DNA sequence: CAGAAAAGCTGACGCACATCATTTTTTGCA
DNA sequence: TGCAAAAAATGATGTGCGTCAGCTTTTCTG
């Protein structure tokens, strides 16, 4: 499980850079970024960083998906975010100068690049566009979490599941949603058994279809309704 | 209820500035800030900004306390943050360029200063220390909300109440906690009746004392225990 | 300071969801 | 390809907490 390998990808040719924090970089800045970063291949279910440790830099997902989660008192994961290719993770704790409050691990085989704290902070000093993107990103996530909190506090599990499926559909794009039932339960914030039952209901109602792990959205509009509207 | 009056306070003499976003300003910067800001007095339960509207600037609390909350589908408030004197609120939506996702209103008579969007963004451009404070603040709040989410998903109401009381004790400092039962319930994320019952239990157990609205913490350590440890 | 309105409190009741236990299916690896 | 382990599914059972309804105390306002 600790098996890692390197597989260099250049930032210049990185297809997903265009929707990352680095989207608005000039060619020179991209080349500088490329020079400073390193790449690592992570197999499915490998850990990228762990709650409690100190950040040494940020991680940019070149390929794959990553769950970002907190561990509750009884060791149960609460997934707070699922990051896809193009996203940069791990900057929050680095910027606030704290230990990680969350852990991150891969949901599938992934290629992840690393930029050290010094290099990243240097870029932030000299690059106003990076700063702005970052502030925007922090603000956006902060808003999303406020909604997440309200949903958790006020919606039923069924509504939250519908809501979560909509978020996941965005993340997975054309592909079917592909998560273990446990991960999905930990994203929705419920017990795995409850999640399985509700998923079954929704399948019987024709809202979704499932093939083992894979979930297909069949009735998008109805699910949005169920989720209590889009916010 | 729409009664407002003005009561100018100069930033130079503002005692709470030292723990605000503007803490590290030079005298010149403080004077510039003072020149650009306006002051307003809000009576208890007046609204400062409302979910769905567009931000025109940020609010700096000179005196008083403010609840920041989302409205759930059935109109129930979920309080996400309680801001005290010195805090700046309303910058999240402004920075992400979105509508407010949250509303804010006063919990007690308060004095609140306003800095327009243009002025604030100008300051951000020219003032690196403000930028850094802001990024730190955003990052810190983002971390806090991750914990909030995990607590909501995994802890019992009783545990969350204990946790919330600890947070509120920090906010209220020497004074007793002074919130309506409804607001407290909306902060904990539960029904008002449930909150009242649990509060009664804790009083009988000797953890707290109550005098009408006021709550006194009697056994801090035990409450931290109950909350499932400090995170 | 009186009367109304709002906030606080209490009890009864039901159900959404957690937990535990067991079986079935899928996955991963030798 | 076959077997062990992990994941998924199903059933049975209990309970934490929400909801509703009625009562009491506090607060607000003229």
d(CA B167, CA B184): 12
Look at residue B230 and tell me whether its pLDDT is greater than 50. no
Give residue A5's pLDDT: 53
Give residue A226's pLDDT: 95
CB-strand contact B214/D, under 7 Å: no
* pLDDT tens-place string over residues B56-114: 999 999 999 999 999 998 889 999 999 999 999 999 999 999 999 999 999 999 999 99
- Contacting residues of A for B146, CB less than 8 Å apart: 70, 80, 101-102, 145
Interface residues of B toward A, Cβ cutoff 8 Å, are: 70, 72-74, 76, 78, 80, 91-93, 95-98, 101-102, 131, 134-136, 138-143, 145-150, 152-155, 189, 228-229, 231
* pLDDT tens-place string over residues A190-219: 999 999 999 999 999 999 999 999 999 999
Instruction: List Cβ<8 Å contacts ≥24 apart for B205-214.
Output: B207/B162, B208/B165, B211/B176, B213/B178, B213/B179, B213/B180, B213/B181, B214/B176, B214/B177, B214/B178
d(CA B212, CA B218): 16
Look at residue B140 and tell me whether its pLDDT is greater than 70. yes
d(CA B199, CA B204): 9
Q: Is the dihedral of CA B94, B1, B185, A193 positive or negative?
A: negative
Per-residue confidence band for A178, with pLDDT thresholds at 50, 70 and 90: very high
Give residue A137's pLDDT: 95
Give residue A73's pLDDT: 85
Q: Which residues are registered as beta bridge partners of B69?
A: B79, B103
- Contacting residues of B for A72, CB less than 8 Å apart: 150, 153-155
DSSP code of A109?
A: S
Give residue B73's pLDDT: 85
Per-residue confidence band for B7, with pLDDT thresholds at 50, 70 and 90: low
* pLDDT tens-place string over residues A98-139: 999 999 999 999 999 999 999 999 999 999 999 999 999 999
Look at residue B201 and tell me whether its pLDDT is greater than 80. yes
What is the chain A residue with the closest CA to B101? A143
Q: What percent of chain A has pLDDT over 90?
A: 92
Give residue A229's pLDDT: 56
Which residue would you say has higher pLDDT here, B8 or A88? A88
Give residue A230's pLDDT: 42
Which residue would you say has higher pLDDT here, B42 or A230? B42
Give residue B19's pLDDT: 84
Are residues A76 and B228, on separate chains, in Cβ contact within 8 Å? no
d(CA B97, CA A3): 42
Concatenate the DSSP letters of all residues of A162-190 into one string: HHHHHHHHHHHTTSPEE--HHHHHHHHTS
Average pLDDT over residues B185-203: 98
Cβ-Cβ contacts under 8 Å for B229 (sequence gap 6 or more)? A73
Per-residue confidence band for B5, with pLDDT thresholds at 50, 70 and 90: low
Give residue B127's pLDDT: 93
* Mean pLDDT score of chain B: 93
Average pLDDT over residues B126-147: 95
Give residue B74's pLDDT: 86
Place of tokens 């390193």: A38
* pLDDT tens-place string over residues A60-69: 999 999 999 9
Rounded CA–C1' distance between A202 and C21, in angstroms: 25
Give residue B8's pLDDT: 79
């Amino acid at each position: 499980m600790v098996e890692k390998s390197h597989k260099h990808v250049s930032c210049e040719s990185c297809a997903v850079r265009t929707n990352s924090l680095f989207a608005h970089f000039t060619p020179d800045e991209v080349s500088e970024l490329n020079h400073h970063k390193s790449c690592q291949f992570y197999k499915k279910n490998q850990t990228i960083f762990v709650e409690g440790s100190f950040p040494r830099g940020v991680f940019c997902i070149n390929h794959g998906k990553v769950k970002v989660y907190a561990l509750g008192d009884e060791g149960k994961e609460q997934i707070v975010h699922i990051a896809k290719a193009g996203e940069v993770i791990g900057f929050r704790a680095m910027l606030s100068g704290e230990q990680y409050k969350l852990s991150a691990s891969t949901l599938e085989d992934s290629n992840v690049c690393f930029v050290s704290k010094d290099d990243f902070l240097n870029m932030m000093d000299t690059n106003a566009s990076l700063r702005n993107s970052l502030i925007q990103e922090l603000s956006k996530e902060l808003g999303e979490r406020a909604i997440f909190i309200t949903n958790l506090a006020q919606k039923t599990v069924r509504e939250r599941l519908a809501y979560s499926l909509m978020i996941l559909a965005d993340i997975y794009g054309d592909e079917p949603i592909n998560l273990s039932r446990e991960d999905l339960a930990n994203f929705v914030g419920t017990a795995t058994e409850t999640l399985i039952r509700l998923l079954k209901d929704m399948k019987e109602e024709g809202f979704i279809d499932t093939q083992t792990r894979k979930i297909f959205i069949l009735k998008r509009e109805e699910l949005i309704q169920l989720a209590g509207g889009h916010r």
